[in-house]
């Protein structure tokens, strides 16, 4: 290991004439905003104005010394940690220099001295090396125009924003520039130089990246993939794959942080699809490294193979999230799905579209499957089923799907789900659809439902965003005499039960004008129900009253329409051969007889569920003994008939791995499942590390 770490002042570090700080192409762009600039400025002012402050530690600056960069006579240092601080200090110095050029005050330090010390390599005659700091991509252009021409037109760019912040401070506060310059000289850094081929920049980068803004999982993955490549292939790989991928995923997204999150989300979904495991959002980078090391080497060809695959799937991801397929019908299916906010389905949707592209699915099949997934999600939403297990449901489909009979197997997998993962049948769905509080669902979901009902099988689609949701029976509790008479003696009950349900909701462009009006007034007013272009109002045009019977009649009509839109395939004995061969914690374990299971990539044969239960608990104990012993003292286990150190307290005790701890074997199937699920949760073990075959 040839890493060299020295303490130095930032002035000594930057002012050397024979070096240039180069930000590699794989590094993130300049991210610091006003709060970070304010904090840095406060530290510099404090150090400069207080003689008792000997120094202020700024953090580490880590760079790679590279022998490829000696042709110009200026040594180029590839910065892998510290670019945000170096760039911000450079912007402050530029502002100080500009202020010195404008002010009539006299200071010991001159504009020229500041620029030659911090900004320019004054003896370099080459335009590519005469500026000490070389940023990457758009940052480079903006920064160099600011340095050379004082150009500040691009006011939305962080570089210009922060430069102008420093200028505003100087012009409004008129500080002592000598104090600021003195404060700069007190800034200390740890100067960490690495040698390519001898040190591992990635490991050092991970351990030292503790200051400034947190890197996203995407930042860490990008650095991991590209960091130890030689400069030329590194640049080619970045510009051919990573940069276009990053740009593609940021279409129509104005905020930088959102762009980064979307890229991190894509990488997580890609990892789920490829590894068939669900990483925590905070551990995507760590899991990605494990995945990479299990599939690829650090050769240039392997890196480009991975990047090519990532780039291909990023295009698919963009199609899914933006609804931009070449086929309009498929695009509309994705747009419709996205209104339900089911990003947990993205890994499965990526697989479907990839297989469609590769010819495993034709157009009619993929559109049917997208409709099927939409139906599954919407029915569960209406029936108020939990969404926290959906990522595991969709992962199970990826694991179990048979590409030779795609449609039938996906149907069967969904129909075979039980318990909280079930696909609600027509009876359950219709009952829930009639009585569900649709109005108080989030606005995106309720608009989606009304839009689908309104536009089903219509050639002229109505843009529901131009309309508001109207309660036919008014929301007010202070109902008029006309409304009370219309609703009957039980008007309070009717109002409380059906107010926000689908039978009482419609669309109108005149919500504020309808208000508390009677039903007849709402029907006959100008552009009221009778004259409405909204098809949802067709059944209202000839009614003379609005009461419980009419609400339920309309609700049943709309529920029958909902059964067509959000369909459920019929179970058929002919599908029996496609029954899932795997079960998870979201399934009903009653009557299941496992034959084997996979835990942490190791296979185990079992006789029955009890054998699986005892063997798996022993493995969990051996996996993390101290944590296991702590977990079973948790009140969640103390309140269950789970274990004891006294076997006589149990009906059918089983000792866990000679530990002196006994578990109860005499439990029904789902009680065993619940105990295992709770252990996995408390031990923080991913459920996807367990695959049960029966």
The predicted model gives 420-449 an average pLDDT of 95
In terms of domains, do 35 and 124 share one? yes
Q: Are residues 83 and 172 in the same domain?
A: yes
Last residue of a domain, one of 429, 446, 476: 429
How far is Cα 528 from Cα 526, in angstroms, rounded to an integer?
5
One domain for residues 509 and 374: no
Secondary structure E strands in 55-168: 56-65, 75-81, 133-134
Instruction: Return the number of other C-beta atoms located less than 10 Å from residue 56's C-beta.
Output: 17
CATH number of the domain to which 677 belongs: 1.20.1380.10
Q: Let me know if residue 577 belongs to a domain.
A: no
Q: Please give the pLDDT value at position 198.
A: 58
Instruction: Select the more confidently predicted residue: 453 or 210.
Output: 453
Q: Is 220 contained in some domain?
A: no
List, for residues 206-240, the tens digit of each pLDDT value.
Answer: 655 544 456 788 988 998 898 878 888 988 999 89
CA angle 243, 244, 249 (to 5 degrees): 100
pLDDT tens per residue across span 335-371: 999 999 889 999 999 999 999 999 999 999 999 999 9
Full DSSP string of 357-412: HTTSS-HHHHHHHHHHHHHHHHHHHHTT--STTHHHHHHHHHHH--GGGHHHHHHH
- 151, 180, 213 — which closes off a domain? 213
Return the top range by mean pLDDT from 129-143, 234-248, 251-265, 493-507: 493-507
Q: What pLDDT does residue 270 have? A: 98
In a domain, residue 346? The reply is yes
Answer whether residue 449 is part of any domain.
yes
In this predicted structure, the answer to whether residue 106 has a pLDDT above a threshold of 50 is: yes
Task: Give tens-digit pLDDT for 54-72.
Answer: 888 888 888 887 665 445 6
Q: Are residues 59 and 174 in the same domain?
A: yes
Same domain (yes/no): 69, 188:
yes
pTM: 0.74
- Kindly state whether residue 572 falls inside one of the protein's structural domains: no
Q: What angle do CA 539, 544, 547 make, to 5 degrees?
A: 80
What does the angle CA 652 – CA 656 – CA 662 come to, to the nearest 5 degrees?
40
Query: Residue 556: which domain range?
Result: 436-565
505-508/468-471 β-pairing: antiparallel
pLDDT at 512: 64
Query: In the predicted model, what is the mean pLDDT of residues 431-450?
Result: 95
Residue 67, pLDDT score: 60
How far is CA 431 from each of CA 22, 563, 564, rounded to the nearest angstrom?
65, 11, 15
Inter-residue contact 666 to 652 (CB < 8 Å): yes
Distance CA 66, CA 47 (A): 34
Domain count, the chain: 4
Q: How far, in whole angstroms, is CA 263 from its chain's centroid? A: 8
Same domain, 416 and 451: no
Whether 461 and 559 share a structural domain: yes
- Predicted confidence band at 259 (pLDDT cuts at 50, 70, 90)? very low
Residue 281 lies in a domain: yes
Same-domain check for residues 558 and 588: no
On the question of pLDDT at 575 being above 60, the answer is: no
Is residue 463 located within the same domain as residue 590? no
Same domain, 591 and 525: no
**Residue 560 shares a structural domain with residue 610:** no
Co-location of 61 and 207 in the same domain = yes
Q: Which one of 532, 565, 598 terminates a domain?
A: 565
How far apart CA 640 and CA 667 sit, in angstroms, is 11
- How open is the CA angle 169-171-172, to the nearest 5 degrees? 65
Residue 579 has pLDDT above 90, yes or no: no
Q: Which of 174-178, 213-217, 250-254, 622-626 has the lowest mean pLDDT?
A: 250-254
């Amino acid at each position: 290991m040839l890493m060299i770490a020295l303490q130095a002042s930032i002035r000594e570090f930057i002012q050397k004439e024979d070096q240039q700080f180069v930000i590699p192409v794989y590094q993130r762009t300049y991210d610091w905003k006003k709060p970070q600039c304010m904090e840095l400025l406060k530290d510099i002012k404090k150090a400069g104005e207080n003689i008792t402050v000997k120094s202020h530690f700024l953090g580490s600056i880590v760079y790679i010394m590279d022998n490829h960069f000696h042709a110009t006579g200026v040594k180029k240092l590839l910065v892998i940690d510290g670019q945000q601080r170096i760039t911000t200090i450079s912007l402050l110095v530029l502002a100080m220099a500009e202020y010195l050029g404008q002010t009539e005050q006299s200071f010991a330090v001159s504009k020229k001295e500041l620029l030659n010390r911090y900004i320019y390599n004054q003896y370099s005659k080459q335009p590519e090396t005469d500026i000490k700091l070389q940023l990457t991509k758009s940052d480079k252009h903006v920064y160099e125009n600011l340095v050379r021409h004082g150009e500040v037109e691009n006011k939305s760019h962080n570089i210009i924003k922060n430069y102008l912040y420093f200028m505003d401070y100087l012009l409004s506060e008129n500080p002592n520039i000598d104090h600021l310059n003195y404060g700069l000289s007190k800034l200390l850094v740890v100067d960490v130089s690495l040698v390519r081929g001898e040190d591992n920049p990635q490991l050092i980068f991970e351990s030292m990246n503790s200051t400034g803004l947190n890197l996203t999982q995407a930042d860490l993955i990008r650095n991991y993939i590209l960091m130890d490549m030689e400069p030329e292939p590194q640049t080619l790989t970045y510009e051919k794959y990573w940069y276009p991928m990053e740009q593609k995923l940021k279409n129509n997204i104005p905020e930088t942080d959102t762009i980064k999150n979307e890229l991190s989300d894509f990488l997580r979904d890609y990892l789920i699809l490829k590894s068939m495991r669900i990483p925590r959002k905070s551990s995507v980078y760590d899991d990605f490294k494990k995945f990479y090391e299990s599939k690829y080497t650090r050769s240039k060809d392997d890196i480009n193979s991975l990047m090519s695959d990532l780039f291909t799937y990023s295009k698919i991801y963009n199609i899914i999230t933006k609804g931009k397929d070449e086929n309009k019908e498929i695009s509309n299916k994705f747009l419709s799905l996205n209104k339900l906010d089911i990003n947990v389905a993205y890994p499965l949707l990526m697989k479907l579209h990839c297989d469609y592209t590769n010819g495993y699915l034709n157009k009619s099949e993929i559109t049917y499957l997208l409709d099927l997934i939409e139906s599954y999600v919407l029915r569960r939403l209406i029936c108020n089923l939990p969404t926290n297990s959906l990522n595991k449901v969709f992962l199970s489909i990826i694991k179990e799907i048979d590409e030779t009979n795609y449609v039938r197997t996906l149907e069967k997998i969904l129909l075979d789900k039980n318990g909280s993962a079930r696909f609600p049948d027509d009876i359950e769905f219709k009952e829930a659809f009639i009585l569900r509080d649709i109005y108080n669902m989030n606005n995106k979901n309720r608009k989606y439902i009304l839009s689908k009902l309104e536009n089903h099988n219509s050639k002229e689609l109505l843009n529901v965003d131009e309309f508001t949701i109207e309660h036919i029976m008014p929301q007010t509790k202070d109902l008029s005499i006309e409304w009370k008479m219309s609703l009957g003696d039980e008007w309070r009950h009717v109002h409380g039960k059906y107010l926000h349900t689908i039978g009482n909701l419609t669309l109108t462009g005149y919500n504020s004008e309808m208000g508390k009006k009677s039903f007849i007034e709402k029907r006959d007013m100008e552009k009221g129900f009778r004259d409405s272009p909204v098809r949802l109002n067709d059944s209202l045009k000839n009614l003379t009253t609005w009461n419980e019977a009419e609400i339920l009649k309309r609700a049943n009509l709309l529920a029958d329409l909902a059964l067509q839109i959000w369909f459920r395939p019929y179970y058929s004995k002919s599908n029996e051969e496609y029954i899932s061969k795997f079960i998870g914690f979201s399934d009903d374990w009653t009557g299941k007889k496992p034959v084997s299971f996979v835990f942490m990539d190791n296979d185990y044969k079992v006789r029955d569920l009890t054998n699986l239960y005892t063997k798996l608990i022993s493995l969990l104990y051996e996996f993390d003994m101290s944590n296991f012993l702590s977990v079973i003292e948790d009140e969640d286990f103390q309140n269950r008939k789970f274990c004891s150190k006294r076997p006589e307290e149990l009906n059918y005790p089983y000792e866990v791995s000679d530990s002196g701890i006994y578990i109860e074997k005499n439990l029904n199937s789902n009680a065993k499942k619940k105990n295992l699920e709770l252990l996995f949760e408390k031990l923080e073990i991913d459920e996807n590390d367990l695959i049960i075959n029966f």
